[in-house]
Amino acid sequence: MSSVHVCLNNPLSPSSTLRRSFSLHIETTSLLGISNGRRTLHATACLNVEVEATDGNAVKPGIPKSKEVMETEARVLVGTYARAPVVLASGKGCKLYDVEGREYLDMSAGIAVNALGHGDEDWLKAVVEQATTLTHVSNMYYSIPQVELAKRLVASSFADRVFFSNSGTEANEAAIKFSRKFQRYTHPDAKEPATEFISFTNSFHGRTVGALALTSKEHYRSPFEPVMPGVTFLEYGNIEVTKKLIQQGRTAAVFVEPIQGEGGIYSATKEFLQFLRSACDDSGALLVFDEVQCGLGRTGYLWAHEAFGVFPDIMTLAKPLAGGLPIGAVLVTERVASAMNYGDHGSTFAGGPLVCNAALAVVDKISNPSFLASVSKKGLFLKEILKQKIGGSSHVREIRGLGLIVGIELDVPASPLVDACRNAGLLVLTAGKGNVIRLVPPLIITEQELDHAAEILYQALPVLDQHNSD
Ligand SMILES: Cc1ncc(COP(=O)(O)O)c(C=O)c1O
């Protein structure tokens, strides 16, 4: 019997390394069983593949405790992250477990990444099968999962072609280059083709130097200036101001999130996006929708822009696409793709067989109309239950969002509430100017779990009064 044992979601476990003991045995079904106190998932295909997932909150001997991990982290990692004091060791569904065995309900999904939760069986099967077959080939050669995934994305969107990257910022970096090249290609006789960009207040497009230049928060940009020149920031949603500044021969592209995530869960209006579409058409600029956070089912629509009936020339994707493995994608029309030549852009890792096979499992599941309908229904339920439980608080200014991207705007900083929720076993994020609680749970979450999350938020709310009276 051929078996590969993978200790899931348990990076600290010494048994997390692949143990190979192959013997060929072909099966087509998956089984869930218990062996030696460990849950064992048999995910099988060409090779018989046996996967061991850690069992919930069981504390494993030999795993360092939180304090030790945090102290080591502080010594050996560059201090770019102000992390919450939790060392996560395993996960299943919408639950996460720390190294002390405490359970958390995950309403953050790795920042809108783990759309299928933790350890989804089909995703796992796709990853393990591909890992045992072929992981990486570079883009010097063809590979089937990459071509299949591109085919699936093209078939389900406005786009004609796809370029793969490894992250959201890289997808936007590629979109910047594609926009500039498009302007050069379509205006071969222009002395200076359009090279500038429009971006908006509260936008977040990434941390590499091009995408950073499009990101509105000055605090992120200023230590690294000069970033890419030629970006104008306009008020999100303000048609009058934008009208004057999308200019022929000057604006290469307009970058916009149909629903802003990091910036505070602000949704565009249909009128605003329609206006951007026609202004770009009139001026020759490209319209780029950054759906890195709001795309792929999170709104209850496969693509967030479908909610507005407005279509871009370029759409960037990343976070949930491979269900937790690093991937990004740039979806483009034929018109944009035709400006690009061999060698214009590339990546060693991007679109590798492993991530693409994982992404195929994710796209298959999320694009199912009944899955999308369940996201819409759960989104309405979440907003309703939040309104009932916490809407009456004097600290809650607004509860907003679409589907399972929901923001709770407070009149005070949100971090004491985030900390209190975490202490009570609920993981939530902040957004905006730190006064918005951001809820982006796995899309597979149940109404019961959403109700539980709202209850914890309700129970934790008094911390805001305590904090403000300190
Ligand atoms: C809308 C948007 N674009 C781009 C990015 C950057 O993605 P990444 O962190 O994968 O580079 C993010 C990340 O939060 C995002 O929310």
User: What stretch of H or E contains 459?
Assistant: helix 447-460
pLDDT-derived band of residue 63, with 50, 70 and 90 as boundaries?
confident
The reply to whether 229 and 330 lie within a common domain is yes
The reply to whether 315 and 171 lie within a common domain is yes
Nearest CA to ligand 1 atom 3: 205
pLDDT for residue 46: 34
Type of residue numbered 222:
S
Q: How far is the CA of 260 from the centre of ligand 1 (A)?
A: 11
Nearest CA to ligand 1 atom 7: 168
- DSSP reduced 3-state for 436: strand
- DSSP reduced 3-state for 215: coil
Listed residue (116, 78, 165) closest to 323, CA to CA: 116
Count: domains in the chain: 3
Pocket of ligand 1 (CB under 6 A): 111, 167-169, 172, 204-206, 257, 261-262, 290, 292-293, 318
Structure tokens of 146? 């990459």
Residue of 166, 172, 176, 205 to mutate, ligand 1, most atoms within 8 A of C-beta: 205
Domain range spanning residue 91? Answer: 3-101
Q: What pTM does this model have?
A: 0.88
- Beta strand extents in 157-312 (DSSP E only): 161-165, 196-200, 231-234, 251-256, 259-260, 266-267, 286-290
Among the candidates 366, 395, 427, a domain finishes at 366
The reply to whether 307 and 392 lie within a common domain is no
Question: The CATH number of the domain where 216 resides is what?
Answer: 3.40.640.10
Q: How far is the CA of 291 from the centre of ligand 1 (A)?
A: 9
462 preceded by cis ω (within 30°)?
Answer: no
43 vs 30: CA distance, rounded Å: 5
Among the candidates 313, 335, 366, a domain finishes at 366
- Give the CA count within 13 Å in the CB-facing half-sphere of 315: 27
Q: What is the pLDDT of residues 94-144, one digit of tens each?
A: 999 999 999 999 999 999 999 999 999 999 999 999 999 999 999 999 999
- Measured from the Cα of 208, ligand 1's closest atom is 11
257 vs 334: CA distance, rounded Å: 22
Residue 51 pLDDT exceeds 60: no
289 vs 304: CA distance, rounded Å: 9
Q: How far is CA 160 from CA 42, 155, 318, 355, in A?
A: 37, 8, 18, 21
pLDDT for residue 37: 34
Q: What is the pLDDT of residues 72-92, one digit of tens each?
A: 999 999 999 999 999 999 999
The reply to whether 305 and 434 lie within a common domain is no
